[in-house]
Amino acid sequence: MNKTVSAHHPQPSKPPVSARKASANRANAQRSTGPRTAKGKATSSLNALRHGILASYYHASDHVAIAEFLVHEATFVISNMQINAVKYLSQLLPLLRSILTNPLGAAYPPLLVAATELLGSLILHCKPRIATTWWVECLRMCVGCWAMIRVDLPESNPVQPNLVTVVRSLRDVVGHEKFQEAADALIKEDEELKDLLYPA
């Protein structure tokens, strides 16, 4: 008689946690202060960004209020991560571009405001990489958003001043000469970009 061996070996179940042990675990958790060292805080922020915010955004991006909340949270996490956020630029910047250049984005300005705040935080904390690799991408998304809101939103909206601030930060990071060359080329194509690129 030939017995087949199952490929699946069930793991022995763990005994249930006693009420006393569960109570002790809760008491310890109440006293926990979270990570204390800079490295611990950076690791905690990295995990929050990777497993919490980015993963959640991709599942909930169709729900604008949830997307807005997650983008706001990402701004706080990036502020905690500072330069360590560089490793997530390749994920965060395309996400921001999809928000800022979405033709329907003007239907919910708070998400655009949150996205401009996150972009500003990335420019501030990731200056070296933005200046060498990503500044053109950042400028493109700002110009795309400006063109969209100029048509779809009234002049007194909260997105425009945020975009102007982000572009100023970008100019400071890239350098005036490099920025001016790109800005002048854009203004030749669309004179109305002057209010974004060289605000009064």
Q: What percent of the chain has pLDDT over 90?
A: 43
pTM here is 0.74
pLDDT tens-digit series, residues 58-87: 546 567 887 888 888 888 888 887 888 888
Residue 124: which of 170, 156, 60 has the closest Cα?
170
**H helix intervals, the chain:** 19-31, 38-47, 55-60, 64-81, 89-100, 109-125, 127-129, 135-152, 159-174, 176-189, 194-197
Within a domain: 134: yes
- Predicted confidence (pLDDT) per residue in 177-199, tens digit: 999 999 999 999 999 999 999 98
Q: Note whether residue 80 is domain-resident.
A: yes
* In-domain check, residue 32: no
pLDDT of residue 43: 55
* Any domain includes 110: yes
Domain assignment present for residue 189? The answer is yes
Range of the domain at 116: 37-197
Q: Is 14 domain-assigned?
A: no
> Looking at the 3D structure of the chain, how many domains does it have?
1
